[in-house]
């Protein structure tokens, strides 16, 4: 709770609006205090000066009249002699000791009378003191009896008697605890100080007047502060509300929302700032939209790429990996590669960092086993992602941000390259073998065998067979080559597949009567859209292989079935020959592939028949495959799409 309160207080006092008001009020307070201090000081000084000047003026008049009275007293003394003077002093003392006769005495004494006249409300006490500091007359309520003949120990009196200059001071009356103003001025005769006049005036009223005005000023200051605070809050709101709006917009921008516009339409600096801010916000929004669009495009491109793509940071840690790369590498148990070391994931152990690979070579070949257990050959290429920064107009600095790793699955490419090499080697071997045989036979004929009537026909027949086999091999190779580059033309038409199979089997029955052909062919026609010559070539090759590898007296079964649900026709040719080992069953449709090479070559085969059959069946959107058991024969299946026959009612 205390932390929450402290947080609120901190936010409250850190608000620019509160700061504005506080500064505004403080400036007002300081200004008012300075003005008030100056005003009250000046007022006090002016009132005191006025008060002093008023008393001083009265003192001057009193001083003048005292000197006049002293002159009169001196003149009277010279006319009446010393006896009269002594009588007068005795009488004066009696009158002063008798308060009831003071007025009478005052009326007979000119100095006392003058002092009594000056005993105003402001003047508290007036004393006339001779140059020996003795009090000759006083305005005390009890007349001169309290002070007459007594010495004055006031240092101000001594100072004036000594210097002959007036002196003043303000002091606090011990009896009333009020401030009084003391003023002492010299009485001079013939430029000689013969005494002083000591005045005590009540100056407390002057200070009270100033204090009253100060209180009024303080009340005015408090009211001014309240009014200033209210005005400051209202005035600051006009400024800070705009700043708060922009601050709110900045926070929204920081969270990714650039669509809000600051609604400030004033014609001042804040309005100009708001307009610029809105323009910046709009520009950032546009740039963000473009960036997001490009990011989506890039993400789509990367995700849809056949090649694998991995991006890493400058330490080689994976930060992005596309689906193709995951498929190539093979994830296990929902394994997540983000944050993993790329070299470790790719099983590259001969290098410690990607930078070493880039310095050493452009790419690597890596063997990886995917989730399906397939061994893939992956070519891995590495490239750096560098950020360029311009420090000044002449220097450019670069900073490595990460790496891009591209994975190419070259398994099929390598397999095809290997097959191409094997194909070239096989073709070379297939051509070299009959050519070698023919060459040896020709040499034998040249050396005299030609005259031998028994051997010469055999040699010539062998040369003729090998020549036909090479011609057939070259023709089949050319046909396969055209099919590979899709230059082979197909004359498609609707064919009764049952009738075509019957004709092919019938031809083999005539040429190979030693074989036992069993037919399971429906009598109703089944129509297939295809090239009759090429389909005939397919079944010729298949049945010819069955004839070659079936011993005499064994059955060769030809079966045709129609699948009405899928509109497909299935043709199977089964022999009872030696069969095909299981390890070879998936390879017999490869070019030049032989289970027993010596046996097939001796039977006149080219090794291209089943490869050609598969290519033709695939071109007809069909399928061909084999089933076999070694020692029990083989079955070749061919399925083709067929037309659905509707019943017609006459």
pLDDT classification of 485: cutoffs 50, 70, 90: low
Structure tokens at 548: 């070659």
pLDDT digits (tens, 9 = 90+) for 600-623: 445 555 667 788 889 889 988 999
pLDDT classification of 108: cutoffs 50, 70, 90: very low
Average pLDDT of the segment spanning 432-440: 76
Bridge-partner residues for 382, per DSSP? 405
Say which CATH architecture domain 305-488 belongs to.
Answer: 2-Layer Sandwich (3.30)
pLDDT higher at 248 or 180: 180
552 and 514 in contact (C-beta within 8 Å)? Answer: yes
Cα–Cα distance for residue pair 67/187, rounded to 1 Å = 7
Q: Is 268 left (phi over 0), alpha (psi -120 to 50) or beta?
A: beta
401 and 314 in contact (C-beta within 8 Å)? Answer: yes
Please give the class, per CATH, of domain 493-641.
alpha beta
Cα–Cα distance for residue pair 201/53, rounded to 1 Å = 12
Residue 141: the pLDDT is 63
5 pLDDT above the threshold of 70 = no
Nearest to 124 by CA among 69, 204, 43, 186: 204
498 pLDDT above the threshold of 90 = yes
pLDDT higher at 243 or 567: 567
Cα–Cα distance for residue pair 349/326, rounded to 1 Å = 20
Q: Residue 550 gets which letter from DSSP?
A: S
Average pLDDT of the segment spanning 70-91: 52
Locate tokens 């069969």: which residue? 579
Residue 132: the pLDDT is 86
Residue 441: the pLDDT is 78
**Residue ranges per structural domain of the chain:** 258-301, 305-488, 493-641
Percentage of the chain lying above the pLDDT 70 cut: 78
Cα–chain-centroid distance for residue 529? 63
Answer whether 0.85 is exceeded by the pTM.
no
Average pLDDT of the segment spanning 469-489: 69
Return the C-alpha torsion angle 326, 327, 333, 339, nearest 10. Answer: -10
In the sheet that holds 363-369, the strands lie side by side as: 318-321, 308-313, 396-409, 375-390, 363-369
The kind and range of the H/E element at 171 are strand 167-172
Residue 236: the pLDDT is 72
Q: Residue 372 gets which letter from DSSP?
A: T
- 3-class DSSP state for residue 433? helix
Residue 647: the pLDDT is 43
Up-side HSE of residue 404: CA atoms within 13 Å toward CB?
Answer: 9
97 pLDDT above the threshold of 50 = no
Residue 521: the pLDDT is 93
Cα–Cα distance for residue pair 438/431, rounded to 1 Å = 11
Report the mean per-residue pLDDT for the chain.
78
Residue 501: the pLDDT is 93
Cα–Cα distance for residue pair 183/566, rounded to 1 Å = 138
265 and 275 in contact (C-beta within 8 Å)? Answer: no
Residue 499: the pLDDT is 93
87 pLDDT above the threshold of 50 = no
pLDDT classification of 564: cutoffs 50, 70, 90: confident
CB neighbours (10 Å) of residue 642? Answer: 23
Average pLDDT of the segment spanning 460-472: 78
216 pLDDT above the threshold of 70 = yes
Average pLDDT of the segment spanning 446-464: 80
Average pLDDT of the segment spanning 509-534: 90
Question: Burial code of 467-484, b = ≥16 C-beta within 10 A, e = fewer?
Answer: eebbeebeebbebbeebe
Of 248-252, 464-468, 594-598, 605-609, the poorest mean pLDDT is in 594-598
Give every CB contact of residue 126 below 8 A, 6+ residues apart in sequence: 62, 115, 118, 119, 138, 139, 197, 198, 199, 200
558 pLDDT above the threshold of 90 = yes
- 3-class DSSP state for residue 100? helix
Locate tokens 């003026």: which residue? 57
159 pLDDT above the threshold of 50 = yes
pLDDT higher at 385 or 94: 385
Average pLDDT of the segment spanning 32-51: 84
pLDDT higher at 331 or 382: 382
pLDDT classification of 333: cutoffs 50, 70, 90: low
571 pLDDT above the threshold of 60 = yes
Residue 56: the pLDDT is 86
- Integer-rounded Cα Rg, in Å, for the chain is 67
pLDDT classification of 575: cutoffs 50, 70, 90: very high
Residue 531 vs residues 122, 224, 307, 338, 610: alpha-carbon distances, Å: 146, 110, 38, 54, 17
89 pLDDT above the threshold of 50 = no
107 pLDDT above the threshold of 60 = no
Residue 77: the pLDDT is 56
Q: Residue 120 gets which letter from DSSP?
A: -
pLDDT higher at 420 or 165: 165
pLDDT classification of 146: cutoffs 50, 70, 90: low
Average pLDDT of the segment spanning 315-343: 81
């Amino acid at each position: 709770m205390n932390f929450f309160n402290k947080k609120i207080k901190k936010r409250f006092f850190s608000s620019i609006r509160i700061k504005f008001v506080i500064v505004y009020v403080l400036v007002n307070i300081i200004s008012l205090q300075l003005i008030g201090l100056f005003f009250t000081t000046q007022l006090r000084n002016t009132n005191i000066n006025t008060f002093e000047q008023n008393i001083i003026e009265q003192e001057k008049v009193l001083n003048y009249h005292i000197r006049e009275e002293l002159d009169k007293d001196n003149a009277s003394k010279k006319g009446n002699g010393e006896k009269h003077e002594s009588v007068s002093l005795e009488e004066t003392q009696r009158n002063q000791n008798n308060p009831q006769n003071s007025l009478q005495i005052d009326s007979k004494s000119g100095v006392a009378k003058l002092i009594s006249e000056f005993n105003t409300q402001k003047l508290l006490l007036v004393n006339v003191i001779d140059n020996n500091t003795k009090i000759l007359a006083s305005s005390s309520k009890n007349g001169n009896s309290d002070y007459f003949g007594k010495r004055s120990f006031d240092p101000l009196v001594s100072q004036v008697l000594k210097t002959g200059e007036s002196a003043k001071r303000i002091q606090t009356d011990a009896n009333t605890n009020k401030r009084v103003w003391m003023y002492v001025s010299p009485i001079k005769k013939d430029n000689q100080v013969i005494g002083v006049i000591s005045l005590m005036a009540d100056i407390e009223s002057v200070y009270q007047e100033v204090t009253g005005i100060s209180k009024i000023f303080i009340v005015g200051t408090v009211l001014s502060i309240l009014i200033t605070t209210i005005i400051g809050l209202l005035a600051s709101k006009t400024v800070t509300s705009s700043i708060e709006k922009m601050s709110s917009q900045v926070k929204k921008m920081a969270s990714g929302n650039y669509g809000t516009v600051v609604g400030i339409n004033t014609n001042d600096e804040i309005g100009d700032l708001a307009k610029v801010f809105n323009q910046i916000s709009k520009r950032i929004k546009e740039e963000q939209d473009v960036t997001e669009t490009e990011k989506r495009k890039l993400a789509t491109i990367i995700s849809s790429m056949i090649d694998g793509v991995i991006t890493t940071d400058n330490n080689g840690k994976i930060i992005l990996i596309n689906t193709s790369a995951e498929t190539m590498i093979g994830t296990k148990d929902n394994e997540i590669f983000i944050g993993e070391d790329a070299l470790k994931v790719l099983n590259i152990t001969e290098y410690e960092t990607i930078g070493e690979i880039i310095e050493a070579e452009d790419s690597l070949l890596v063997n990886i086993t995917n989730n399906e257990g397939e061994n893939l050959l992956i070519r891995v290429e590495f490239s750096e992602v560098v950020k360029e920064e311009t420090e000044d107009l002449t220097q450019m600095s670069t900073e490595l941000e990460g790496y891009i790793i591209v994975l190419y699955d070259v398994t099929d490419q390598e397999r095809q390259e290997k097959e191409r090499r094997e194909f070239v080697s096989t073709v070379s071997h297939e051509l070299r073998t009959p050519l070698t045989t023919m060459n040896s036979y020709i040499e034998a004929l040249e050396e005299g065998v030609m005259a031998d009537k028994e051997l010469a026909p055999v040699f010539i027949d062998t040369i003729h067979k090998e020549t036909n086999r090479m011609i057939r091999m070259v023709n089949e190779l050319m046909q396969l080559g055209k099919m590979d580059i899709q230059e082979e033309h197909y004359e498609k038409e609707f064919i009764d597949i049952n009738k075509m199979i019957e004709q092919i089997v019938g031809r083999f029955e005539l040429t190979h009567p030693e074989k036992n052909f069993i037919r399971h062919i429906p009598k109703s026609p089944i129509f297939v859209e295809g090239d009759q010559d090429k389909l005939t070539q397919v079944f010729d090759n298949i049945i010819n292989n069955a004839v070659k590898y079936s011993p005499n007296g064994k059955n060769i079964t030809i079966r045709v079935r129609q699948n009405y649900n899928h509109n497909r026709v299935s043709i199977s040719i089964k022999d009872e020959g030696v069969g095909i080992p299981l390890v070879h069953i998936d390879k017999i449709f490869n070019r030049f592939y032989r289970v027993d090479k010596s046996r097939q070559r001796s039977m006149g085969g080219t090794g291209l028949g089943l490869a050609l059959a598969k290519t033709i069946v695939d071109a007809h959107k069909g399928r061909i495959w084999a089933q076999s058991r070694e020692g029990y024969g083989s079955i070749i299946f061919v399925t083709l799409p067929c037309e659905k026959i509707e019943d017609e009612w006459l």
